[in-house]
């Protein structure tokens, strides 16, 4: 899940409110619905409606608003009035939000909703106060600029910050009981101090954090290092039948060289591919499950290296013939990952929509623009196999098209660290939030059979969607288990221009059962074999179509 969006501010506010035991269940559901109505109004640019809803919630008579709800309401009132050109009320609400504890300086700086206020003297005063609070956590002493070699002080400070943020924020230490985090810190300190380059330094930090075995707790290298570490040949690799194969080929020149989907990789730079992966890739991968680790090692990271560098591959085709090719790393990993929304019509009047990311707010608008086509179909397939996450609120909004009623999403718990309680010997507790009910779309309802395609590249917000979809009992999940990693990441800067994230929320199904560290399991399990890759078949899609054909037939029988 991502925090920097209006939709998720409302999601978190609603979740926080759900814990207020003094409120009736009906009042809690009504508040959630009203918050999400306001969020939807923002997305539709109906700012007058949004501020009307929020001003009503500000004086909500049923209950005392939770602190996070109050901040979200006041901040978004400032945004709405600013969009309407009503700068004085907007500035007043922004002051109130800061008085209630709002201190998200990055959001304040980037939010276009507040552009109408930036020239006002009063805005500069508010900005300065938020910047002062923000600088307690994020400042230039830690967020130093990139250099090829960092000073010893920078390296030590970065390692120490990484240790501290994880020590006090990581929610899953109980899942690595054999790991002593303090011992690991002291073991890595001399290695960090001896590192000769920023690239080596970040490699060490990645290896240290990988030992937590959590996909939402990781180190991200500085952008100036991307050209040094994030390039590969124009192809995708992966596991099939427990063998490492070429899964997809993007460049015609590679096909002409005999490199086709289904060709097996035997060696990389002279090393057996499994040995190469175990030594060069796996130690730096942060993953919550074996299936997610396999994807990161054998799909995303296997052939990464410096831009335009060469990698030698020993390959074997379907006839058992071995051959060697030297390939250039001329494609960035980011450019190889599918993005956006894809639509097509499949046999049986089945609509197919691939939602490859929930990272952009436009995904809901794009899905909405397809609704007339979807409504004319007999069944719907949502493909989340390439969706690594983004904003969970966007995912739930799309599920809202598939129900006439509100639905339970996920629940979560987090550490409730209090220094005073620790001083009294009370230990560190956890606090838990009640399940949130997400509203149906209300005006558009696709009531026909639905199948969702999933796999080990399905992660984070996309897994939240899968968990909610299962709870809704709205259709079937087809494919393989998901990555098994989600939760609210805390993002913090490191010296040299990189950053790290630590998972601060333990998410579960609405009934409290687990899927993090396991993966959301398919109702119909299907995995691609080498023969499928070589022939261009998609057995997961085929299984979904077969199921939906039967479901449509059954539905017609009962009409």
> Does residue 375 surpass a pLDDT of 70?
yes
DSSP-assigned states of every residue in 383-443: E-TT---B-HHHHHHHHGGG-SS-EE-EEEEEEE--HHHHHTT---EEEE-PPPEEPP-SS
Judged by DSSP in three states, 491 sits in strand
Q: What is the DSSP letter of 354?
A: E
Note whether 467 and 437 are within 8 A (CB).
Answer: no
Q: Which two tokens stand for residue 477?
A: 């999940």
Whether this prediction's pTM lies above 0.85 is answered by yes
Q: Which two tokens stand for residue 316?
A: 């074997």
Note whether 460 and 389 are within 8 A (CB).
Answer: yes
Looking from the CA of 432 toward its CB, the CA atoms found within 13 Å total 9
> Does residue 4 surpass a pLDDT of 80?
no
The architecture that CATH gives domain 341-557 is: Alpha-Beta Complex (3.90)
Helix (H) or strand (E) holding 383: strand 379-383
CATH number listed for the domain at residues 6-137: 1.25.40
Q: What is the DSSP letter of 517?
A: T
- Tell me if 6-137 shares its fold with 229-336: no
Sole residue written with tokens 């209300």: 442
Note whether 327 and 310 are within 8 A (CB).
Answer: yes
Sole residue written with tokens 């005006």: 443
Q: Which two tokens stand for residue 74?
A: 């006041």
For a pLDDT cut of 90, what percent of the chain falls above it? Answer: 78
| Segment 493-518, tens digit of pLDDT | 999 999 999 999 999 999 999 999 99
Q: Residue 27: what pLDDT?
A: 66
Q: Residue 471: what pLDDT?
A: 95
Q: Which two tokens stand for residue 527?
A: 């995995």
- As a whole number, mean pLDDT of residues 84-112 equals 93
528 forms beta bridges with none
Q: What is the DSSP letter of 524?
A: E
How many CB atoms lie under 10 A from the CB of residue 255? 13
- Specify the higher pLDDT residue, 481 or 61: 481
Distance CA 190, CA 543 (A): 53
Distance CA 283, CA 300 (A): 14
CATH number listed for the domain at residues 229-336: 2.30.42.10
Residues contacting 420, CB < 8 A, separation 6+: none
DSSP-assigned states of every residue in 211-273: TT--TTSEEE--GGGHHHHSEE-SEEEEEETTEEEEEEE--HHHHHTT--TTPEEEEETTEEH
**Structural domain spans, the chain:** 6-137, 229-336, 341-557
- Specify the higher pLDDT residue, 4 or 151: 151
Dihedrals φ, ψ of 539, to 5°?
-65, -25
Q: Which two tokens stand for residue 280?
A: 């060069």
| Segment 378-388, tens digit of pLDDT | 999 999 999 99
| Segment 329-341, tens digit of pLDDT | 999 998 888 889 9
| Segment 430-445, tens digit of pLDDT | 888 767 788 888 889 9
Question: Residue 28's pLDDT band (boundaries 50, 70, 90)?
Answer: low
Question: Residue 246's pLDDT band (boundaries 50, 70, 90)?
Answer: very high
What mean pLDDT, rounded, does the chain reach? 91
> Does residue 407 surpass a pLDDT of 50?
yes
Dihedral of alpha carbons 358, 363, 368, 372, sign: negative
Q: Which of 178-192, 252-266, 416-430 has the lowest mean pLDDT?
A: 416-430
Q: Which two tokens stand for residue 144?
A: 């130093």
Nearest to 9 by CA among 56, 67, 58: 67
Note whether 69 and 39 are within 8 A (CB).
Answer: no
- Specify the higher pLDDT residue, 400 or 22: 400
Q: Which two tokens stand for residue 159?
A: 């390692």
Q: Residue 6: what pLDDT?
A: 38
């Amino acid at each position: 899940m991502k925090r920097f969006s209006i939709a998720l501010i409302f999601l978190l506010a609603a979740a926080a409110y759900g814990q207020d035991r003094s409120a009736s269940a009906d009042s809690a559901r009504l508040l959630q619905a009203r918050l999400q109505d306001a969020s939807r109004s923002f997305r539709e640019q109906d700012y007058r409606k949004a501020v009307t809803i929020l001003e009503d919630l500000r004086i909500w008579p049923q209950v005392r608003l939770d602190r996070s709800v109050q901040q979200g309401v006041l901040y978004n009132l400032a945004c709405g009035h600013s969009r309407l050109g009503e700068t004085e009320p907007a500035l007043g609400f922004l002051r109130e939000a800061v008085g209630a504890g709002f201190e998200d300086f990055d959001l304040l700086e980037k939010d276009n909703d507040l552009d109408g206020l930036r020239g006002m003297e009063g805005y500069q005063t508010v900005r300065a106060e938020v910047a002062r609070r923000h600088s307690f956590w994020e400042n230039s002493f830690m967020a130093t600029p990139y250099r090829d070699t960092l000073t010893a002080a920078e390296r030590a400070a970065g390692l120490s910050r990484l240790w501290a943020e994880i020590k006090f924020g990581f929610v899953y230490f109980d899942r690595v009981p054999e790991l002593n985090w303090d011992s690991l810190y002291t073991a890595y300190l001399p290695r960090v101090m001896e590192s000769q380059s920023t690239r080596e330094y970040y490699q060490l930090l990645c290896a240290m954090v990988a030992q937590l075995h959590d996909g939402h707790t990781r180190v991200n290298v500085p952008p100036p290092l991307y050209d040094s570490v994030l390039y590969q040949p124009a192809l995708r690799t992966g596991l099939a039948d427990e063998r490492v194969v070429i899964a997809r080929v993007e460049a015609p020149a590679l096909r002409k060289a005999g490199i086709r989907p289904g060709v097996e990789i035997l060696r990389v730079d002279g090393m057996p591919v499994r040995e190469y992966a175990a030594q060069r890739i796996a130690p730096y991968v942060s993953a919550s499950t074996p299936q997610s680790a396999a994807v990161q090692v054998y799909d995303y990271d296997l052939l990464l290296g410096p831009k335009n560098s060469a990698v030698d591959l020993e390959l074997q085709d379907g006839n058992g013939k071995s051959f060697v090719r030297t390939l250039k790393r001329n494609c960035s990993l980011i450019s190889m990952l599918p993005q956006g929304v894809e639509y097509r019509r499949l046999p049986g009047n089945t609509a197919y929509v691939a939602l490859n990311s929930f990272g952009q707010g436009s995904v809901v608008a794009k899905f909405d623009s397809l609704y007339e086509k979807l409504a004319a179909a007999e069944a719907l397939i949502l493909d989340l196999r390439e969706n690594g996450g983004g904003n969970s609120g966007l995912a739930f909004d799309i599920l809202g098209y598939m129900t006439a009623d509100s639905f339970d999403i996920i629940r979560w718990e987090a550490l409730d660290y209090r220094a005073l309680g620790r001083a009294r010997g009370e230990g560190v507790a956890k606090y838990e939030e009640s399940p949130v009910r997400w509203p149906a779309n209300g005006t558009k309802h696709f009531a026909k059979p639905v199948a969702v395609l999933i796999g080990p590249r399905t992660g984070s917000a996309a897994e939240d969607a899968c968990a909610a979809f299962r709870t809704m009992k709205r259709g079937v999940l087809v494919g393989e288990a998901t990555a098994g990693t989600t939760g609210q990441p805390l993002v913090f800067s490191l010296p040299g221009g990189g950053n790290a994230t630590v998972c601060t929320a333990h998410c579960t199904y609405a009934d409290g059962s687990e899927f993090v560290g396991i993966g959301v399991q398919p109702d119909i399990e299907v995995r691609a074999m080498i023969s499928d890759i070589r022939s261009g078949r998609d057995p997961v899609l085929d299984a979904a179509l077969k199921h939906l054909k039967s479901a449509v037939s059954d539905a017609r029988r009962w009409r």
